[in-house]
Amino acid sequence: MDSWENDEVIQRFREYLRIPSVHPDVNYDECVEFLKRQASELQVPVKVHELIPGKPVVVITWEGKEPQLPAILLNSHMDVVPVYEEFWTHPPFEAKISEDGYIYARGTQDMKSVGMFHLEAVRRLKAAGVRLKRTVHVSFVPDEEIGGEHGMQAFAQSEQFRAMNVGFGLDESCPAISTKVIRAFNGEKTNRQLKVTCRGNPGHGSLLLSNTAGEKLHYILDKFMKYRAGEVEKQAQGTWVGDLVSINLTQIEGGVQINVVPDSLTVYFDIRIPPTLDHDAFDDMIRKWCTEAGEDVTFEYIWNNPPVKITNIDESNQFWTALLRAVKEMGFDIFCNVCPGTTDARFVRQQGVPVINFSPILNSPILLHAHDERIHVDVFRQGIDIMEKVVEAVANI
């Protein structure tokens, strides 16, 4: 325990974890001041871009020997999701280290650990007198956990981002239960939130009316849930969830009284579509279902993200090959596929920049957004070791 308490690297991480940058209504001031202090200690410039009031983007820049080359972006988000403190073994913003070496805190996995991997890797390389070819930008953005609209989405579309000349990026993935294989993502599903409205003949609940909203709703539900069952079956047979369409019924609205046949019923679905699927064909399928259900059945998207091209993981991507080589030289491997959720990486990919989601957290339970989120101190130190070699490799291409 004493060695952990006296470890400056661990203490910096714990200080960051203790900042309650938790939704809703996050105040990022403490995070910004903490990161400014890190930049000062590293003797590198820092910029705070506040394109939207109260939504700062912090960029710490270590200039390379050949700054004209496209730069490397190491991105993480400062915000964390809410907690149910009564279910935690230790207070979620205390960063308590247990007797067996686990740091308990919200953000230990998602994703303050990864932000500190980035900073500590730069700190080590600078301390060793290393000069990298490419400039490295270490960015910390707000609001990823609520969609990123006022965070990376706005920043990636800005002149400030374009001026950074980013050629390759790293962002978050998720922990791996393996001791040797790191989980990474080269793309992610498109999130589409859908509303289907079924209108029909209203009337008394004692009658067997035709052309009712309920009959049409039944048809729609049957189509969506049968499609979902097919994807569940594929998952049971071993298909990775990132390669499957996830469909979940999340809300149903309508009706005025139990003995009145309603004139309208509405159902909402949360849908995540892999980048390998034809998104237009998927839309056409839903449109066909609505037509088959009967007249006055319509759908609209509450949230309709565009598909984002995946990052190549073959010999054509020199950054990927350098990353993979560095990891293998340390005795590890990478399992890379499509992320089942969404991250800020999609906004950077939309700008034509290749990004790999890469969180070198090994031998750990996946506790993203969970009670008792934690990381072992040895796993945290190992993550820095891996990130140091990766940053050096991709920034020296």
Residues above pLDDT 70, as percent of the chain: 99
**Where residue 80 sits, what CATH number does that domain have?**
3.40.630.10
Residues 106/42, Cβ–Cβ less than 8 Å: no
Is 321 a domain residue? no
Is 314 a domain residue? no
Backbone φ, ψ for residue 124 (5° rounding): -65, -45
Distance CA 97, CA 107 (A): 14
Is 317 a domain residue? no
Distance CA 105, CA 300 (A): 40
Domains identified in the chain, total number = 2
Identify residue 282 by its one-letter amino acid code: F
Instruction: Report the first-to-last Cα separation within the chain, whole angstroms.
Output: 40
Residue numbers in the chain where pLDDT is lower than 70: 1-2
Query: Tokens 């839903």 sit at which residue?
Result: 286
**Where residue 223 sits, what CATH number does that domain have?**
3.30.70.360
- Parent domain of 71: 2-173+336-395
Same domain membership, residue 119 and residue 52:
yes
Tokens of 208: 């067997």
Neighbouring CB atoms inside 10 A of 359's CB total: 28
The pLDDT tens digits for 22-47 are 999 999 999 999 999 999 999 999 99
pLDDT of residue 306: 85
pLDDT of residue 2: 54
Is 147 a domain residue? yes
Same domain membership, residue 167 and residue 198:
no
Is 367 a domain residue? yes
Same domain membership, residue 263 and residue 123:
no
Is 250 a domain residue? yes
Last-in-domain residue among 304, 319, 354 = 304
Is 183 a domain residue? no
Same domain membership, residue 200 and residue 114:
no
Same domain membership, residue 156 and residue 231:
no
Is 323 a domain residue? no
pLDDT of residue 341: 85
Neighbouring CB atoms inside 10 A of 129's CB total: 6
List the catalytic residues. Answer: 79, 144
Same domain membership, residue 262 and residue 290:
yes
pLDDT of residue 1: 55
Same domain membership, residue 146 and residue 19:
yes
Same domain membership, residue 350 and residue 295:
no
| 3-state DSSP percent of the chain in helix, strand and coil, to 5 | 35, 25, 40
Neighbouring CB atoms inside 10 A of 171's CB total: 30
| Long-range pairs of 157-164 with CB within 8 A, sequence gap ≥ 24 | 157/347, 157/351, 158/49, 158/51, 160/47, 160/49, 160/51, 161/351, 162/351, 164/59, 164/61, 164/71, 164/73, 164/137
Residues 243/276, Cβ–Cβ less than 8 Å: yes
Same domain membership, residue 124 and residue 51:
yes
Confidence (pTM): 0.90
Last-in-domain residue among 304, 324, 354 = 304
pLDDT of residue 124: 98
pLDDT of residue 191: 87
Same domain membership, residue 138 and residue 17:
yes
Same domain membership, residue 137 and residue 261:
no
Backbone φ, ψ for residue 247 (5° rounding): -125, 125
Same domain membership, residue 27 and residue 113:
yes
